[in-house]
Structure 1
Amino acid sequence: MATGQQALDAAQLIGVDWGSTSLRAFLIGADGLALAERANGDGASVISGAGAFAAALDEVAGDWMRARPALPVVACGMVGSLHGWLDVPYAACPADARALATGMLPSPGGAESKQILIAPGLLCDESGLPPDVMRGEETQIIGALHLQPQLSEGACIVLPGTHSKWAQVRHGKIRRFATHMTGELYAVLRKHSVLGRLMEESAFNEAAFLDGVEAARRHGHLGVAHQMFAARTLGVTGRMAPAALGDYLSGLLIGHEFRAGLAWREQAGLETAPLALVGSAELCRRYQVALRHYSGERALALDNTAPAGLLLLARAAGLAPSQSTSLESV
């Protein structure tokens, strides 16, 4: 990354990815990449009130805002939720950068605090199905389309995490998406259920992980609620070491996610379209291993695409200089 002053001089935007448990701020250059990055633990779920949100943002990016007071600030994520700084209504699928930018709202606050624009989340509300929502991932998807334009025509984009998202993209728009609570389910089962009692911490055990993936692939028709109990019985009977049980459970849950997600992708006619993973390297590695075992595919893996997405939203709102290759494609 650039030095402090170089980053400040080159930045077109201060972008903020504000989740439930953390706050990440970026100085973003014209290419959509982060020139500088800072983070702290002031997530939207641990603070409340307009003053607390303004103070948290000032702590992580206040010197940037004072050094370049005309530089716009755009935030995405749970900061725009009911329990965030401001409840910003969801935009509806299908949506692109322009639709999301249209839904951005300014943060509340007095004249002494800098006003920022907060992006809406995204709502998928298809007839006959319960609604699904995301906050923050839609900005990452828009960023992925900007950084990898070949995905815009048609792709399935997967964002592993506490609540994994599978999104279908066509003609530069997020058409629909589905949430899988894989990460949260794993954490709850490991920490608060009988399954975790035999598990021991260890380095990633790929063989045990793939055993779980294979169980979901081959015997998933038995149901995940039944198959999960094997993470105990394999330990009780001595057929799997305690240090391997956690990765077995992880593979089983991710395997069931792929079982559903790949079928959903095929039903949408995207089975031959690119599949991309967006997220941390560690999580994407697990998903890549599971995908290769499940279908023989290798996905395009991208790291944090939120800065590029935030810049696209700023451009769509007329807050940052446009580039001829940016908005037309997303």
Structure 2
Amino acid sequence: MKPLVGVDWGTSSLRVARVDASGHAIEQREFPRGILTVPAGGFPQVFGEACGDWMKEPGAVALICGMAGSRQGWQEAPYAPCPAGHAEIASQLAWIDRGRIAIVPGLSFDAGGAPDVMRGEETAVLGVMKLLGVSDARIVMPGTHCKWVRVRAGRIESFATYMTGEFYAMLRQHSILARTLPAQDGELYEDAFLRGVDYAMHAGNLLHAAFTARTLSLFERLPQSAAPSYLSGLLIGEELRSQDLHAGDTLVLAGADKLTQRYGLALSHLRAPFRVLGQEATWLGLHAIAQSVKELA
């Protein structure tokens, strides 16, 4: 296979890697150059600054996943419908420079009459499957918009998006709760976090439960410094409340350490089986897609 440059281009950050023949990163770089920082027409320049030297290697090809394929990105890559595996995804690459630079399509799933979408997570899911050596799994990808993904027979069958991280930011900064919260989140208070998880699990209604982040502080039953941890627990607990956590399969958490730690803490508290993987899965996923593209052989 041709030398592969992997690019994970999100809303707020840009990660690039030289990927070896087994799908692992030889060298990685990260920049605060998410798509929202790139001016119109500026994507080729930012791409060149990030990994242009790697692209000088004879035959080098770049596969780009994430929000670079959105309407606000470099070039729109239409969503591929579920179910989809690496072959279906590879067949719908959006080429910027045929045989040299391509964008991975996102995925869509019709959930009860309303579409759900992802960009970038589909590539990490493929990498998780390759890393674990399994063809069936339930994968949780914490983030601003957390994804719960069901994979069967090596293909992404369905998924659901939860705006947990974004709701936290909205409540944290723009609601009445902000009046009683400290200026900075600070360290994670595990007791307060798990208290929030427990309250969400039995309250059964986030619109009611969220207000307790204010009232507990008003009545001095929760230290102000621990209130962000409590609110975080409430929101993650609400997300977990809607899941079947004991369906007989082990959940796989894949993502940034800070968030996977919180989800893992909550799942352990609820006695739900899980395992944790890091962010290296994206490069494995891009490698799996590249293997299905004849032009990259």
TM-score, structure 1 normalization:
0.85
Residues 283-304 of structure 1 deviation map (CA, whole Å, 9 limit, x = unaligned):
111001111112x123111111
The one of 54, 61, 65 aligned to 1:64: 54
> In 2, Cα distance between the equivalents of 1:11 and 1:101?
15
Give the deviation of 1:320 after TM superposition: 4.7
Higher strand share: 2
The number of residues matched between the two structures is 294
1:43 alignment partner in structure 2: 34
| Paired residue secondary structure (2:53) | helix
1:327 alignment partner in structure 2: none
What is the CA RMSD across the aligned residues, in angstroms? 1.8
Which ranges in structure 1 are unaligned for 5 or more consecutive residues?
1-9, 322-330
Is 1:125 paired with 2:116? no
> In 2, Cα distance between the equivalents of 1:24 and 1:302?
18
The one of 239, 249, 252 aligned to 1:273: 249
Give the deviation of 1:79 after TM superposition: 0.4
Give the deviation of 1:231 after TM superposition: 0.6
The one of 7, 12, 16 aligned to 1:21: 12
Contact 1:212 1:252 in 2 (8 A): yes
> In 1, Cα distance between the equivalents of 2:48 and 2:244?
43
Give the deviation of 1:240 after TM superposition: 0.3
1:183 alignment partner in structure 2: 165
Residues 99-154 of structure 1 deviation map (CA, whole Å, 9 limit, x = unaligned):
11111011169xxxx9411000000014x33110000000000010011113x1x2
Give the deviation of 1:65 after TM superposition: 1.0
1:249-328 correspondence runs (5 A): 249-262=231-244, 271-294=247-270, 296-304=271-279, 305-320=281-296
| Paired residue secondary structure (1:191) | helix
The one of 56, 60, 64 aligned to 1:75: 64
The one of 66, 82, 93 aligned to 1:104: 93
| Paired residue secondary structure (1:273) | coil
TM-score, structure 2 normalization:
0.94
Contact 1:166 1:261 in 2 (8 A): no
Residue identity (%): 41
Contact 1:140 1:309 in 2 (8 A): yes
Give the deviation of 1:274 after TM superposition: 2.4
2:101 alignment partner in structure 1: 116
Which ranges in structure 2 are unaligned for 5 or more consecutive residues?
none
Contact 2:139 2:254 in 1 (8 A): yes
1:144 alignment partner in structure 2: 128
1:3 alignment partner in structure 2: none
1:277 counterpart letter in structure 2: L
> In 1, Cα distance between the equivalents of 2:140 and 2:174?
27
